Structure 1
């Protein structure tokens, strides 16, 4: 009986090890995962109390990801928008390229905080959750800046 148990025990250990290795390496083929970091986040102080915009940059040092949605306790909803040729359009999601960045800036891609529960004032910080397909939820505090604040070197319109 000892001889029968040893091969079975060895086989069970081998199978368990193989399953563990398979679980670690499954997914995108190379084990490469997105590595997202959010920088430069801000909300310009809005002129009215019902809507505000948000801007930030997502740096990705890994595989491609997708920003699927955004939420914040300050707004009834937060929507993703793009602006092309002066026309603003709501987007379902935004691709975050592998080893690249996604830039939300004035006059281009941006967030819209709609149905504000309170008007954010300069100096406040607004808690925001960015929901990515692969990276999960990334929590970021968006500082509220002056209405005219623009982090780029060129002046806004």
Structure 2
């Protein structure tokens, strides 16, 4: 009877240790993409660029964060320009900023007349119907690649 109890205890301990190791391997401090409370869950929608009429353009989109942790949009890159910045609009004045907050369970709206992406010194003039590739960079999340459909110069979804 002592041997059977020892085997059962050893077997139970081995199963418990294996389960504990498996759970530890699945948890890496909340920096994974599992959607836990410590993870931003970002999704981009409503992206567009009005057809530029000069050598600069604006970009607009919404970033929704369904995760339990806030993040920040820190920069935007694009093959169409080596000078892409993010701007806030306050009191009808544009000003470059280092980042935009994306709250947990919230969203960041980049829209006409408000905060936006600014493309300076365009390498080419995209036309309505084309797409412009960009990559959004964040403080915590992996970069997200987005294609901005080029719309009419006066396109404004808020007016539709």
Indicate the TM-score class for this superposition, using the shorter chain for normalisation: 0.7 to 0.9
Query: Match of 2:98?
Result: 92
Unpaired segments ≥5 residues, structure 2: 1-9
Superposition TM-score, scaled by structure 1 size: 0.81
The yes-or-no answer on 1:24 pairing with 2:27 is yes
The yes-or-no answer on 1:123 pairing with 2:126 is no
CA–CA distance in structure 2, aligned partners of residues 31 and 122 of structure 1: 40
Aligned residues: 144
8 Å Cα contact 1:66/1:96 also seen in 2: yes
Q: Bigger radius of gyration, 1 or 2?
A: 2
Query: Match of 1:83?
Result: 89
Please list the CA deviations of residues 77-102 of structure 1 after superposition, one character each: whole Å capped at 9, or x if unmatched: 21000011111000000010000110
C-alpha displacement at 1:17, in angstroms? 4.7
Q: Superposition pairs for residues 21-100 of structure 1, below 5 Å?
A: 21=24, 24-27=27-30, 31-32=36-37, 33-48=39-54, 50-62=55-67, 63-100=69-106
> The residue matched to 2:84 in structure 1 has which SS?
strand
- Please provide the CA RMSD for this pair: 2.5
C-alpha displacement at 1:25, in angstroms? 4.4
CA–CA distance in structure 2, aligned partners of residues 109 and 27 of structure 1: 30
